[in-house]
Chain A
Amino acid sequence: MSGRDADPLGGAVSDGILVVGGGIAGITAALEAAEAGVQVYLVEKSAHLGGRVAQLARYFPKLCPPTCGLEINYRRLRENRDVHVFTTAEVEEIRGEPGHYEATIRRHPRYVNDRCTACGACSAPCPVERPNPFDYGMSTTKTISLGHEMAFPMKYSIDASTCLFDDCAKCVDACPYGAVDLHMEEERIQLEVGAVVVATGWQPYDAGAIANLAFGHYPDVVTNVMLERMLAENGPTAGQVLRPSDGTPVRSAAFVQCAGSRDRLHLGYCSSICCLASLKEASLLLERNPEATAHVFFIDLRTPGTYEAFATKVLAHPNVRTTKGKVADILQDPDSGQLVVVADDMVAGAMRRLPVDLVVLASGMEPSLTQGRPAAEVAYDPDGFVAEGADGGGIFAAGCARAPVDVATATLDATAAAMRAIRVLRQATPLPAPTVTVPVP
């Protein structure tokens, strides 16, 4: 593969597995299946693999950066000829039955071909700055960009919604390799596979929909994924935690748990990772700004299983404070301009008004397939997660497409899904029965 996008296959392919989604779950499922000897077609909507994990500052509980897991996986991908990667591609339709599915893939033009060496010469003369989706709009990039330095494939791409195309074409002239092709066209690719793994992941719930939490109203109210980018060394503030309103270091932050989750008006379920994510972000904040105080406001602090030890360690820090009570109002102090979070403190039995520099909404995880579902015999539960087995058992969900889970669970889930997908393939095309020779005495 050498990190290149797969060529259109030009014919029927069977005995393969289609993996939808190139985040940590999809990459894992693809590799586990391919390393077991199966042809895998990995389809990713955006220009690069890695998904939400690539955007993290650190994993919990070990606090290592996402480069850890991703780089190993990218190496495995490069070394494996059985994973065929399609980026800027979406699955439009899946028809058929276990063992025999036909999938229609729509690959959007990347406008950059395989000659790209990621030298960056194209980006410099590009006149269009656009909000960088990788940083949730907290930074900008050129419309021809690499996404981020850990991109896989290591190839630039053009954002068609902002590019000026032939009216500009400066990137075409700047590229020394002839890699920019503004006339690249959309392709439709047909695949025949025996099983499908849906690993379409999650997106942050729209914090603006939670009217009383003032997201979008005050710049110093951010979401947990935004803070994650601030904490990342390759993020918009190069790892510093600064108040968006004035760029001063954050000395106090309120983590607002269940911002949308466990709320029948928004997400009826527990997003399961936000408590741990906030504790992780709190400890990273204290690592960057040792004088700071992190205040965690929760209904219940949910740190299941062995994560309890991580929670205990973070909570033992004198600058991590907790309040049992949900933040339900965010005001602005008219004199200082500082934000004030308001919660009813269940333990103290008193209304708490706490001025802080930064408010971090632990906005929950929503399944990505809330929109843009492919035409397929896939069932969804009432919350929009993929419910398995509706077609009789050839389409499996893994990771956050199935349920809100942490990275470690997503990878285990993906391995299990790969295993079950392989089983469907083997049942559809049975291996020859082994010959057993019984020694005659």
Chain B
Amino acid sequence: MTTTEKPPEALAPLSLQPDRAFTDRLTELAGDSFSSCYQCGTCSVVCPFSAQGTHLPRQEMLFAQWGLENELLSSPNLWICTTCGNCARLCPREVDIPGTIRAARDLYVAARDIPRELSTAFESTSRHGNPLGQSARKRAAWASGAGVDVPVMAKLGRRVEVLFFTECYWSYHPRGIEAAQAMARVMAALGTDWAILGTEEQCVADSQRLAGETGLFEEAAAHNVETLRKYEFGRIVTPDPHAYNALRNLYPHYGGTYEVQHYTQFLAERMDDLELHAIPQRSVTFHDPCYLGRHNGEFEAPRRLLEAIPGVDLIEMGHCREDGYCCGGGGGGMWNSSFVADHVDERLAEVRVKEAIGTGADVLAVCCPFEVSLFEDALKSTGNDGKIVVRDIVELLDESHGPAPVAGGASAPG
């Protein structure tokens, strides 16, 4: 009758000597909400890693409560967590679980060697202003291939309505660049008064912050706030939910208060101004980004964009909206895949693409720059390449707003 995931591992004897000094340090960074945890296990059941027997983050909350510094900081779970926030959504004690994990990482980063891939991403962010290790001077190179003019603030020398904060993956990643160029064409079609910061832009580094590098985040925030102070603009629009999260919720603490929108929110208000045609892909499923949906409450805007495309049928996955399933990229997960793979059987993106394929949809639509590459890799690693096409929503819109396709002429890239 009963099935258990794995035989319980032999419990190593623990020295249960609560270290109050350690809990005090955690509390200073994250508040003391973890002290109200009553170990019900809701978090570890609804964690996307639940099926893999990690007991994440129930175990970590217990270690935090007891001040078990070594157990908490040595737990591989500390680096597996993506801060997706599904645990915090349902925690009956309202514990700030992602915040507590982040605080523990902060303490770890200050004292110990972090997983290698992650340290490489941190170093690149520090040195080049992006975690991909690309040249800061080439940050706006993507714009030349857009086929439309992409204005740059420094050259424009006037106020614009929309300052577009491109962020790193749309600036450098090949699949991100395609989405950025599609965005530029949609902006042009809308006649938007917009511009980018170009080479003056630097990584917002919110995921680095969540991975424990608060210092890096603060340096980046100081730089970006300083840069933004030079210009006049109506609002900031960004394609990256993590940047959106930081610009909206954290930058006010660093001297920068702006009207910030995710690109899906900006476009959703303007869908009537865009002439859209049917595209070859008929059925689409949509993956909610954790930092747009669960963390910032926006579930409708991306769906409105998809529903605006004539003939597109949106098929929801079982895990959607508040219950969305993390792609694995947040909280530093984007740069930690080898470490995660060493400790779990299946990556989150691999679980998620199978769920997407299960809907029978032609397209897995996304609107977070991490997701395209994670899902495309996961389709390959699970032997499902070609079973579903991963496209950013803006790519679908770009395809849809162009001239009406000639019969047989248009085809889905994939």
Interface residues of A (CB under 8 A from B): 211-212, 252, 258, 262-266, 293, 299-300, 325-329, 342-346, 348-355
Contacts and interface: CB of A to CB of B under 8 A. Distances in A.
Interface in B1-49: 1-9, 11, 38-46
A275 to B, nearest CB: 14
B53 A212 contact: no
B8 A348 contact: yes
User: Which of B11, B45, B50 counts the most chain A CB atoms within 10 A?
Assistant: B45
Interface string B100-144: 000000000000000000000000000000000000000000000
A343 B9 contact: no
Contacts of B1: 252, 293, 354-355
User: Which of B9, B40, B44 counts the most chain A CB atoms within 10 A?
Assistant: B40
Given A211-B322, A258-B92, A328-B41, A353 B58 contact: no
B22 to A, nearest CB: 23
Contacts of A252: 1
17 contacts: A211-B322, A211-B323, A212-B42, A258-B92, A265-B90, A265-B91, A325-B40, A342-B50, A343-B45, A348-B8, A349-B9, A350-B6, A350-B7, A350-B8, A353-B4, A353-B5, A355-B3
Given A293-B1, A350-B53, A355-B1, A326 B40 contact: yes
Contacts of B90: 211-212, 265, 328
Nearest to B62: A346
Contact of A344 (B6, B7, B11, B58): B58
Interface size grouping (class) on chain B: 20 to 34
B380 interface: no
Contact of B41 (A262, A300, A346, A355): A346
Given A263-B92, A265-B94, A329 B3 contact: no
Interface string B54-87: 0100100000000000000000000000000000
A299 B53 CA distance: 19
B185 to A, nearest CB: 39
A362 B51 CA distance: 25
Interface of B: 1-9, 11, 38-46, 50-51, 53, 55, 58, 90-94, 322-323
A351 B53 contact: yes
User: Which of A328, A329, A342, A352 counts the most chain B CB atoms within 10 A?
Assistant: A328
Given A263-B92, A342-B50, A351 B44 contact: yes
Contact of B40 (A299, A348, A355): A299
Contacts of A265: 90-92, 94
Nearest to B4: A350
Given A326-B41, A328-B90, 7 more contacts: A211-B322, A265-B94, A326-B42, A329-B50, A344-B44, A352-B4, A355-B1
Contacts of B94: 264-265
Given A258-B40, A263-B92, A299-B38, A349 B55 contact: yes
A325 B3 contact: no
B41 A348 contact: no
Nearest to B53: A351
B92 A354 contact: no
B2 A354 contact: yes
B41 A350 contact: no
B205 to A, nearest CB: 31
A344 to B, nearest CB: 3
Contacts of B45: 326-329, 342-344, 351
Contact of A351 (B4, B42, B93, B322): B4
B31 to A, nearest CB: 15
A345 B55 CA distance: 10
